[in-house]
Amino acid sequence: MKRGIPTSSSHLRRLYFLSLISLILSFSLSLPLPVLADTDQEQLEDISDTFVNNATLTSNNASSTTDRDRSFAGMIDRALEKEFTENDQTEEEDAGSFNNSVAGQQAVLETVARVKSKKNDTKDDKSFQLHHVFTMDNDNGAEETPTLIDRKDNVFIISNFKSKYPVLQLDLRLISDLVVVIVSATCGGIAFACAGQPVITGYLLAGSVVGPGGLDVVSELVQVETVAQFGVIFLLFALGLEFSMAKLKVVRAVAVLGGLVQSFLFMCICGITASLCGGKPSEGVFVGVLLSMSSTAVVLKFLMEKNSVNALHGQVTIGTLILQDCAVGLLFALLPVLGGTSGVLQGVISMTKSLVALVAFLAVLSVLSRTCLPWFLKLMISLSSQTNELYQLASVAFCLLVAWSSDKLGLSLELGSFAAGVMISTTDLAQHTLEQVEPIRNFFAALFLASIGMLIHVHFLWNHIDILLASVLLVVIAKTIVISIVVKGFGYNNKTSVLVGMSLAQIGEFAFVLLSRASNLHLVEGKLYMLLLGTTALSLVTTPLLFKIIPGVVHLGVLLRWFTPDSQSEMGIKIEGLRSDSAKQRIALIAKDLLIHEG
């Protein structure tokens, strides 16, 4: 070693040696020798203690390391290091994935900030916040999922945390959010059931209370809404299990042609109105598209509660909702054309591709339902002789697989899940499958409705309640009139037409997705976007009230002789449920006698 500044160890030894000499001389000679100050002496004592401890620790570590290397455990460690060398190589290879993504123009550099965990906050901040009550901060050793935030206040949750070794990763915030939503939906449903009101209203309001527009105790909105999407899937799957192809054939004309006519009329009326008012026709057409959509999940839930699924107006309503789900891909292809981001020819090509995909998808499912599906279900029954666990799992997996395939083809998850249910309904195991799936459907349906409620901002609705109520009232009246006229045009009586019109008089939750896509395409902006958003939210909230007044409207129509008596009304003017002309004549005579008797 070069001469000059002494090393730290030699310097410590000299200080330690000098301090010992001074202490020995002072005590042996009893002379008033100059001693070090108290602070210096404390520093020397600390340094000496540190030196001794470090020396002892180093010697112990060296001896323990030597002993471990020579032991059998050391031999095992060296063998494992040679065996599992791919972890180090993977870490080195993945280190440049960030730069490769940016260089390949697959990613864009942006400034983000990593949010610190609440466990690192100072303990001096004792302010009470309700949000902290629902967070799962604990001392059980589990780390929170890292969170990033960009300059636009968009929050990102790490979905794949990089680790040298595969470890089980938990998102505790997501668990906390799901607990909050499920418990709040349960409390809301219980409260409204005790009050004699529809539980759907309780689910919606419970979601609005805990959502961003209320107490704001749900952190990961995207994750919760994604999980809740299973509610729509299982709702339509169960509906497909209960649906009969024979009944669908009865209403196929009004469901398919009538549904298309309804959408076309709404687009024309809104487009012409926008032009007359000095607005853009494209905005008017988009508003018409938005108004033509109804809430599949909410309407189906009410039809099931009212036992109206098998009624004539229920069949027409369900058929129209199915058509709307089939048209989802076409609507997405239409938006770029309305927004001006693509030409008319490109839009026509996109819509044609969607139609071809729809026809091919339904054709393949039809073949599978007649060949492979019955054999598969019987196999699951034979394997589940003692317990239905495997059959239940297979049914859910089949539903999700068909729904996923539909989504990958550019169609919708709703269409795929309904088609899966219809496929099983053609077999003898439809009722057994429904019994297995029904508890799952009820749970996820409540979760979905609560997640829809989270999109409803109570403060925003309250601050603009006058204009939003007027808009909702206008939407309900317009949709009821247009849909009733279309259904009436297909030969159905007044009562059935009005019931279908009132059942479809709300704006569906899919409007939120259409609004987001239209906003990204700059099709609707500013005040119109806020108006449509608030109107959609309030229409979903008022849907239970609309179904509540339907019996009163029917009773009033009978008193005013707008509707025919129930005996004839259930069959409709066309009396589709009967094929015999003599039976039709007998029912018509009975209805005529009833009318004469009432007169």
Domain spans in the chain, listed from the N-terminal domain onward: 221-551, 564-599
Task: Write out the two tokens for 491.
Answer: 């030969």
- DSSP string for 388-440: SHHHHHHHHHHHHHHHHHHHHTTS-HHHHHHHHHHHHHTSTTHHHHHHHHHHH
CA angle 448, 520, 335 (to 5 degrees): 85
DSSP string of 119-150, one letter each residue: GGS-TT-----HHHHSS---SSSPPPPPEEEE
pLDDT at 220: 79
Integer distance in angstroms from the first to the last C-alpha of the chain?
Answer: 123
**414 in Cβ contact with 296 (< 8 Å):** yes
Residue pair 486/554 in contact (Cβ under 8 Å)? The answer is: no
- Owner of token pair 């000299």: 14
**pTM given for the model:** 0.64
pLDDT tens per residue across span 256-314? 888 889 888 998 998 898 888 888 888 888 888 888 888 887 888 788 877 787 788 88
Confidence at residue 342, expressed as pLDDT on a 0 to 100 scale: 58
The answer to whether the Cα torsion of 322, 326, 330, 331 is positive or negative is: positive
Q: What pLDDT is attached to residue 576?
A: 40
Residue 347 — very low, low, confident or very high, per pLDDT cuts 50/70/90? low
Most confident of 115-129, 194-208, 364-378: 364-378
Question: Between helices 328-339 and 344-370, what is the axis angle to 10°?
Answer: 170
Query: Is 80 exceeded by the pLDDT of residue 552?
Result: yes
Q: Best-predicted range by mean pLDDT among 181-185, 225-229, 295-299, 368-372?
A: 181-185
To the nearest whole percent, how much of the chain has pLDDT over 70? Answer: 65
Does the pLDDT value for residue 78 go beyond 80? Answer: no
Whether the Cβ atoms of residue 178 and residue 227 lie closer than 8 Å to each other: yes
Least confident range from 62-76, 273-287, 450-464, 482-496: namely 62-76
- How far apart, in whole angstroms, are the C-alpha atoms of residue 596 and residue 441? 47
> Mean of the pLDDT values across residues 183-197?
88
Strand partners, 147: 115, 157
> What is the per-residue pLDDT for 397?
94
Asked if the model's pLDDT at residue 255 lies above 90, the reply is no
Q: Is the pLDDT of residue 536 over 70?
A: yes
483 with 262: CB under 8 angstroms?
yes
Q: Rounded distance, CA 93 to CA 167, Å? A: 19
C-alpha 346: how far from chain center: 31
For the residues 371-388, what does the mean pLDDT come to? 83
Write the pLDDT tens digit of every residue in 3-22: 444 444 555 555 555 555 55
User: Does the pLDDT value for residue 584 go beyond 90?
Assistant: no
| Fold (CATH) for 221-551 | Na+/H+ antiporter like fold (1.20.1530)
**pLDDT surpassing 90 at residue 182:** yes
3-class secondary-structure state, position 155: strand
Q: Is the pLDDT of residue 349 over 60?
A: yes
pLDDT at 173: 83
What is residue 183's predicted lDDT score, i.e. its pLDDT? 94
- Name the more confident of 562 and 365: 365
Q: Could you give the CA distance from residue 390 to residue 343 in angstroms, rounded to a whole number?
A: 50
Angle at which helices 296-305 and 526-548 cross, to 10°:
10
Report the pLDDT averaged over residues 35-47. Answer: 49
Mean pLDDT of 67-93: 61
Lowest-confidence pick of 169-173, 188-192, 542-546: 169-173
Least confident of 8-17, 250-259, 411-420, 512-521: 8-17
Radius of gyration of the CA atoms of the chain, in A: 35
One-character DSSP codes across 300-332: HHHHHHTT-SSSHHHHHHHHHHHHHHHTHHHHH
Q: Does residue 336 carry a pLDDT above 80?
A: no
13-22, 33-42, 252-261, 493-502: least confidently modelled range = 33-42
Contact 267, 332 (CB under 8 A): no
Mean pLDDT, residues 519-541:
80
Q: Report the alpha-carbon distance of residue 338 to residue 463 in Å, rounded.
A: 31
The encoded tokens of residue 570 equal: 């259930």
Write down the mean pLDDT value for the chain.
Answer: 74
Element (H or E) spanning 87, and its range? helix 86-94
Q: How far apart are CA 255 and CA 245, in angstroms?
A: 13
CA–CA gap between residue 303 and residue 238 (Å, rounded): 13
- pLDDT confidence band for 72 (50 / 70 / 90): low
Q: How far is CA 597 from the centre of its chain?
A: 55
Higher-confidence residue of 511 and 579: namely 511
If residue 113 lies in a helix (H) or strand (E), which one and from where to where? strand 112-115
CA distance linking residue 404 with residue 391, whole number of Å: 20
pLDDT of the residue at 282 = 83
Q: Which residues contact 571 (CB under 8 A, 6 or more apart)?
A: 312, 577, 578, 587
**Which whole number is the average pLDDT over 535-558?**
84
- Residue 144 and residue 219 in contact, taking contact as beta carbons nearer than 8 Å: no
Structure token digits, residue 558: 């009978």
Least confident of 130-139, 262-271, 334-343: 130-139
Report residue 443's pLDDT band, with 50, 70 and 90 as the boundaries: very high
Whether residue 37 has pLDDT greater than 50: no
Q: Return the ∠ at Cα 245 (arms to 239 and 250), rounded to 5°.
A: 110
222: confidence class by pLDDT, cuts 50, 70, 90: confident
Q: Of the candidates 294, 291, 361, which has an alpha carbon nearest to the alpha carbon of residue 323?
A: 294
Question: What does each C-alpha distance from 156 to 148, 180, 221 come to in angstroms?
Answer: 5, 20, 11
Is pLDDT above 90 for 190?
yes
Instruction: Examine the pLDDT at 575 and tell me if it is beyond 50.
Output: no
Q: pLDDT confidence of 479, banded at 50, 70, 90?
A: very high
Residues 6+ apart with CB under 8 A from 15: 44, 47, 48
